[in-house]
Amino acid sequence: MTPPVEEARRRSASDYRFGKVLGEGSFSTVYLAKDIHTNKEYAIKVLEKAHIIREKKSEYVMREKEVLRILGSSCPYFVRLYWTFQDSEHLYFVLTYAKNGELLKQIDKCGCFTIECARYYAAEMVLALEYLHGKGIVHRDLKPENVLFDENWHILITDFGSAKILKTDNTENQKCDNDALDKGDKRRRTSFVGTAQFVSPEMLSESSSSPASDLWALGCIIYQMVSGVMPFRGRSEFLIFQKILNLEYEYPDGFDPQAKDLVQKLLVKNPIERLGATDEAPYTSIRFVEGNLILKQGLIDKKKGLFARRRMFLLTFGPHLYYVDPVAMVLKGEIPWSEDLRSEAKNFKTFFIHTPNRKYYLEDPEGYALQWCKAIDEVKAYYHPEQ
């Protein structure tokens, strides 16, 4: 498995062959680059130290790194930070390469999405936000430019420079609310160039934000995917802000009624009343085990000698293969994942998982053994692409 950022052996720009410029930010340039050892492609964000200091952006850069560190690799819907390094003039962030560019570009290209397509990406965004908020992070700048696509057309949310960290990962009560920090930075607050349309009313009226602020932005994005235009439009930022504060927007003729129902429940002035704003943890635990997004689950008979125990198997990002007592809903254990883990389908029902120390005999009573092996192979390819 790729080592966590801190543990990785020292890297430098010479480990990569830099290619074309993928894009430019206000204080960064992003290059397509190839790891010279593995030939794997990455997007490398290069920041000029002097520029960051001059523009007083160190805090934002540090925050982006911290958020990406917290997110790690457990949820596939975020750009992943593989390594960071620096030289005397630059900082380098080695990130997942989003091969298929920005959501905004796709909306512009297609005019608008079909309702099935909009539903699909709304669902991926909901999962991503559920994970993000579960980690105590609010994005605060969610917009179609910050939702990228990977090579398989799954979303990769990016740009965490404006994020707010409510708590650190393992110290639940240690609040690090950086609304206060941002309040001092009025210039940024009022210069949401290109983003004004996605700012929630509470961010405008009280400079306060919460996970519900991202749900507002999600409502705006769904509206845009379905109709092709943003809900709050105007000739100036001031006019846009007035419209947001007055909840002044309309649905074009033919706007899908189900999508309208959803958007209406997200674009609500009071953040607490937005759909999903008060969802509790049990809901989350169905899709995540120990913070890892579940990819596949099902009942499997786990054989040991003459006996077989029925277990709920959960293949998750991380990667992990957990098994749970399906009656007591208690986590019983996990098949230890390693680069050497291998699946083998014997027939539609029976399959084996080989690990260096044990061979697991598994039987899917529903006959989905081949699908299990395929899913395991896909997760392997994601985590061990060099193999």
Among 6, 20, 26, 187, binds ligand ATP (CB under 6 A): 26
Decide the pairing of beta strands 292-304 and 358-363.
antiparallel
Q: Does 97 bind ligand ATP (CB under 6 A)?
A: yes
Q: Catalytic positions, please?
A: 141
Give the number of residues written for the chain.
387
Q: What are phi and psi of 267, to 5 degrees?
A: -85, 70
Task: Specify the amino acid at residue 63.
Answer: R
User: Distance (Å, rounded) from C-alpha 225 to C-alpha 229?
Assistant: 8
Q: Phi/psi of residue 251, each to 5°?
A: -100, 125
Our CB check for ligand ATP shows the closer of 99 and 332 to be: 99
Nearest residue to 241 via CA among 197, 210, 211 = 197
Alpha-carbon distance of 64 to 92, in angstroms, equals: 12
Query: Among 30, 91, 262, 289, which residue sits at the site for ligand ATP (rule: CB under 6 A)?
Result: 30
Please, which of residues 52-91 interact with ligand ATP by CB under 6 A?
79
| Interface segment toward ligand ATP; rule CB under 6 A; list 93-101, 179-187, 203-211, 313-321 | 93-101
Task: State yes or no: residue 159 binds ligand ATP (CB under 6 A).
Answer: yes
Q: Which stretch binds ligand ATP (CB under 6 A): 24-32, 207-215, 311-319, 368-376?
A: 24-32
* Phi, psi for 322 (deg, rounded to 5): -85, 155
Tokens at residue 244, please?
């947001």
16 near ligand ATP, judged by CB under 6 A: no
Please return the burial class of 36, using the count of CB atoms within 10 Å of its CB with bins 0-12, 13-18 and 19+: exposed
Nearer to ligand ATP, 213 or 227 (CB): 213
Whichever of 30 and 226 has its CB closer to ligand ATP, that residue is: 30
Output 95 or 107, the one with its CB closest to ligand ATP.
95
User: Does position 202 bind ligand ATP by CB under 6 A?
Assistant: no
Distances (CA, A) of 360 to 151, 319, 335: 33, 17, 8
| Structure tokens, 272 | 């607490």
- Specify whether the backbone of 296 is left (phi greater than 0), alpha (psi in -120 to 50) or beta: beta
Q: Is 45 annotated in some ligand binding site?
A: yes
Q: Does 197 bind ligand ATP (CB under 6 A)?
A: no
98, 266, 300, 379: residue in contact with ligand ATP (rule CB under 6 A) = 98
Q: How far apart are CA 230 and CA 58, in angstroms?
A: 32
Using CB under 6 A, which of the segments 22-30, 165-173, 174-182, 275-283 binds ligand ATP?
22-30
Nearest approach in angstroms of CB 336 to ligand ATP is: 31
Give yes or no for residue 109 binding ligand ATP (CB under 6 A). no
Q: Which of 249, 278, 275 has the alpha carbon at shortest distance from 262?
A: 275
Half-sphere exposure of 23 (CA within 13 A, CB side): 12
- Binding ligand ATP (rule: CB under 6 A), the pick from 67, 71, 103, 148 is 148
25 binds ligand ATP (CB under 6 A): yes
State the number of binding residues for ligand ATP (CB under 6 A). 18
Binding range to ligand ATP, per CB under 6 A, among 23-31, 288-296, 311-319, 354-362: 23-31
Binding residues for ATP: 45
Binding site for ligand ATP (CB under 6 A): 22-26, 28, 30, 43, 45, 79, 95-98, 102, 148, 158-159
- Residue ranges for the known binding site are 45
